[in-house]
Each structure stands twice: as structure tokens, then as C-alpha cells.
A = this chain, B = another copy of it.
Amino acid sequence: MKIVALAGGVGGAKLADGLARLLPPEDLTIVVNTGDDFEHLGLIICPDLDTVCYTLAGQANPQTGWGRRDETFLALENLRHLGGPDWFTLGDRDLGTHLERTRRLKDGQPLSQVTRGFCQAWGVKPTILPMSDQPVCTIVDTVEHGELAFQEYFVRRRCEPRVRGFRFAGLEAARPAPGIQETIDKATAIVICPSNPWVSIDPILAVLQLRSPVHQSQSIIAVSPILGGRTVKGPAAKMYVEMGIPPSAIAVARHYQGLVTNFILDRLDIDLAGEIESLGMRALVTDTLMKSSPGRLRLAQDVLNLVETP
């Protein structure tokens, strides 16, 4: 079975990691959101791509889920002491990644090629692809400050402004990174990881122009990032509220209605399964929390079981 996983940051990376430990590397491709990418201090930073790569390399910081394990922050400490902009946390090891990626991109290498090189160096076997080699920027429209670049909203303003919409700048010129379309065409299943539907998955779907399964035997399986009306991490639930939609697994299922064939929700939300099935998708109730390494494996196994017996 050939699996394509669509992932944003921490939650997506965890499920992708579980899948990577269960599947032969040639059977797994992870397509990562790059709508969060931005330039900061002259560095081109790809937060979701790094989170997925670091996680699969076993190098992610286990406390935060993002950044590097055994990290130090001396560069940032000196920069802060000099009065520089310190709102985006950059670890010392992590800086090496940004410096080298920026160098290669400015040299003309496409991001997908840079990512392949980094994965080789880090011993990451499955294929990890940015959704596009062309820049696409997620813009968050907020009540208080109007449009904000994603990291301005997410990190600098800590998701505090109330959102009223989203826009992906650069979509017109963005094509899926080389290899994605062929992989999607051949995939047994596409797994939408438990990432933020608005700002992690929607940009990928928009670039891929993915609106339904590509062939009849293909399943598209979404895992709800909302359980018990809340998210484990990140602003997805808050965003649903601000967009006037009660945050729940149902809201997520509706978000993906017409696209997904199977929807995985948490045991906490077992009473929502019927309503979700009425949206035209099969519902699977299981434990979706990935608190630890066995949790990732367990959820990944549930996903793969579903692919075998949809």
C-alpha cells in the first residue's frame, strides 16, 4: 500500500512519524505545509517542514514538539541582549538548518531538493516533500490588526487576534512540488494528519487542488485534530469559534466534506460518530491522543488498518 500523508507541524509530524515506523520508506510520502514559511533575520525558515524532518530524524525537542532536542539558545540570547527581534525562538542547532537552507535556496536549489538533501544527511528514509517549491504565504485576516503574515499571528501575537478569514498568497504561481502529483495518483490512501484544517491542511489542499479521491479505490482518511471540542496544541478550536463554527470533530468533518472517505475521531467524541457518517464518510472512533511514542504507533496502525479494511 502506498500512503501519502498531508501534514502541518507538531500533530502532523507525530502521526507521520508513527506511519514512518510502520511502513517501508518507499511506501510513504509526506507532503508538508509551507504556508507558514517566512523570512526572518535574512533566514528562510520553514517551521512545519523542520518539525516533520526533525521528528522523523528523532531529533525533535520532546517537550515542545518543534525545534531540536538538546538545543541551546546562545545566538538568540546574544541577539536579544543587542536589542534584536527575539520573538521567534531560534535554537543554535536549528540555526545551522536555516543558514544552510537559505544558502541553498539563494543559490537556486528548489526547496524540495534542499529537503531531500537534508533528509539524507539526517537519515530520514521516507520521502518528505514541501507542498510546493514556489512560496505560498498563509495570511490570517484578523479583527484587531487586519491581515497578518502567519508567523506574525501565530508566534509574535500568540494567536491572540480574532481571525475572520484566511488567504494563501502566491497560489496562482504555485505548483505541487515535483513528484507529488504522481505519488498522489498512485496512492492507496491519502492521510490528512491531525493538523490545523484552516492553516496547515487547507494550503496543501489548495496547492494540490485535491477535492476528491483520484481513483475509486483510493481512501482519503482525515484524523480530527479536535477532540472534546479542544485541540491538543495550536489555535484550530479557537479559529472555529471565531469563524462562527462550534469547534468539534463535526466541524472538522464538515471542513473536509466531499473530500474524505474516512474520518477518525477520538473516543471522547464517540457520540458524534453518527452525525459524521451522515456527512458521507465512514467514521472510526479510536484513541487519537499521541502523548508518547507508542501513542503515535497505535494511531498510525489504526490508520493503516483502515486502509486495508476501509
Contacts and interface: CB of A to CB of B under 8 A. Distances in A.
Interface in A159-206: none
Interface residues of A, number: 33
Interface string A82-107: 11110000011111110110110010
A42 B102 CA distance: 8
Main secondary structure of the interface of A (DSSP, over half): helix
A78 interface: yes
A93 B77 contact: yes
Interface string A70-81: 011011111111
Q: What is the count of identical protomers in the complex? A: 2
A78 B93 CA distance: 6
A246 interface: no
Nearest first, the 6 A-B pairs at minimum CB distance are A78-B96, A84-B100, A79-B96, A92-B92, A75-B95, A74-B92
Given A79-B100, A82-B117, 9 more contacts: A41-B103, A42-B99, A43-B99, A75-B92, A77-B93, A78-B100, A81-B122, A82-B121, A83-B117
22 contacts: A41-B100, A42-B99, A42-B102, A42-B103, A72-B74, A74-B92, A75-B95, A75-B96, A75-B99, A78-B93, A78-B96, A78-B100, A79-B96, A79-B99, A79-B100, A81-B121, A81-B122, A83-B121, A85-B103, A92-B92, A92-B95, A95-B95
